[in-house]
Amino acid sequence: MSHDAGAPANGTAARIVEPIRGTLDAEVTLPGSKSITNRALITAALAEGVTTLSGVGLSDDTRAMIGALSLVGVETEIAPDETTLTVHGVGKGLRSPERELDANMSGTSARFLLPVLGLIGSGTLTGHEQMRARPMATLCQALTDLGAVVDGESLPIAVSAPVTGDSVSIDASVSSQFISALLLAAPLFPNGLKLTLTGTPVSTPYVSMTIAVMESFGASVQGEDRDSGQVITVSPTGYSAIEYEVEPDASTATYPLAAAAIVGGRVRVNGLGSNSLQGDAAFAERVLVPMGARAFVDEGSIEVRGNGLLDPVGVDLGDMSDTAPTFAALAAKADGVSSVTGIGFIRTTKESDRVQGSVDELNRIGVAATVDEDGFTVTGGVHQNATVQTYEDHRMAMAFALVGLTGGPVTIHDPSCVGKTFPGFWELLDELRATARTTPRVLAIDGPAGSGKSTIAKRLAERLRLPHLDTGAMYRAVTYAVLKAGVHLDAADQVGQAAVDAEIIMRANTVVVNGENVTTAIREAEVTAAVSVVAANPEVRRVLVDAQRAWATRRGGAVIEGRDIGTAVFPDAELKVYLNASVEERARRRAAETGEGDIAAMAKAIAERDHLDMTRETDPLMVADDAVEIDSTAMTVDDVVGRVADIWAHGDDGQQGQQGQQGQ
């Protein structure tokens, strides 16, 4: 759980985040993107007429933008649910503010509002002490080059004459927010804008996001590449009032999605998907998948399934730099050395130095980390409980809270700083914790050799978005280890010890035994001939049953196939299916798979294997009392998959034991 830990010496409350027991099984709906919301607020303010923004995230940053816009004549109404804003745009009818505009700690508000003052030709912009330390000089110089009179290079900044020009160059290597700020105001510049980008651009997806929002409100934006750099041209069309839906915040989504990878289980974020305007929406596929998690992305959702085991990786996060602290938390949990590059620019452009801060806080909790020229390197390991400093930076607080979800607690200093973008973060963490399962959801598929278990299980796993475990492959892997060690199959004790000693790793399409990829080798004739004998060994079965239970438990659920899954390994499985087919049909299937021409011989071998499996002393093949029996002799793969998937989703129709008749 997470709970307040009272007030430390400086008087600021702290919060202890304790490990989650079990694996996650959650679907979450997140607040709207702060980045999109503030862009949409500017465009709606500069449009003529009434705009409705739905799905907004009403954070401290958004409130700062609303408050500042009210001082230049833009009225905004907040609906009771605080997710819908009605904006009364004034177009070119902006008024001179009677007092300073306060961006508070909001970088987007500060950067986006300054060109608005450039449209008016008067006004002063200020902000929190933290914001005053963040760079603004590049944007001030661009506005000066466009004819505005700007006094100051950091907040507070005063504007005393409007923009008159229509062409300017800007260094794109400092912050994408400067580019977005100029673009957002450009449709109201007297003659539009031709903006030339120099230097190596950073966070380019945010510029694409800006242009997409602008175009939704009727702006005309054209881009081209020239030798001098990328040129973006904006026509002086103004904006039109519309109804606009803000998608969930992709940067915020990295926290619950990363939690699934760290803790294990499943987290699905609804409303954010493959059509997202936000570059950070790619975090699951670009970071979590290489670290060993599985991601499912469609138009309406992003789902991550993890097993609590993370592989070390090296990534370039230059175009999704807000996720760097999240990566730090993940790297702390990975088994090895991870590194991130491409983020050196965030040391001076964000709420805090997130490179040095991430390294300092990892070291504080006992995880080795170093600052690199353009990022940082982390050696994952066991952490200790310490009070993580957050530097008034919401992303540092939310990211380092993830570390405490497994292994041991951590204490977060100044937890209220999350209100800058996600006031409900701590409630979200509690909601995730409430979904934790200590027993996995298992779909158990048993049956004799050649009944189609592997094909059906793989298809079901894909359809149901569940991990798939081929326990037969595990027994084959042990058999391979026994044969490789030269152990005689009659030496039961030595066979059992070989199972104890073997290091078996089961991944999506790969089987590794003692560091050797044996995915193909375990299907060869020598292994096939010996696997029944090895599988009958009580010690082998004990070792692998424990391994199978641990494998599924770490993942929170799975489709698992074998010969004793519903009877011995997972007797409390959520659904048990016994899949069968006639010996002749199974022989034909196996012959088609192996290329064997003598089907009669194949049928004889299968019958013998059935006898061994059904008569072995330990955990023989049998039909569980509560299993759904399906005879697939005359059924297609799609028929079987559809039938089982329907039962999984809606429950059995009371026809247990009669499925064989339906399949005839």
One-letter amino acid of 92: K
CB-based contact 583:609 (threshold 8 Å): no
Beta-carbon contacts of 142 under 8 Å, excluding residues fewer than 6 positions away, are: 168, 169, 170, 178, 182
Taken in order 104, 108, 113, 118, the sign of the CA dihedral is positive
Distance, CA of 548 to CA of 336 (rounded, Å): 25
Distance, CA of 582 to CA of 520 (rounded, Å): 27
φ and ψ at residue 496, rounded to 5 degrees: -65, -40
Q: Which of 269, 408, 282 is closest to 333 using CA atoms?
A: 408
What's 193-246 look like in SS3?
A: EEEEEECCCCCHHHHHHHHHHHHHCCCCEEEEEECCEEEEEECCCCEECCEEEC
C-alpha angle 224-272-423 in degrees, rounded to nearest 5: 110
Identify whether 322 is a catalytic site residue. yes
Q: Which of 322, 414, 613, 619 is the catalytic position?
A: 322
Q: Which residues in 540-552 are b (16+ Cβ under 10 Å) and which e?
A: bbebbbebbbebb
CA distances from 490 to 487, 605, 611, 634 (A): 9, 20, 19, 39
Beta-carbon contacts of 309 under 8 Å, excluding residues fewer than 6 positions away, are: 292, 335, 554
CB-based contact 478:538 (threshold 8 Å): no
φ and ψ at residue 223, rounded to 5 degrees: -130, 150
Residues with a catalytic annotation lie at 322
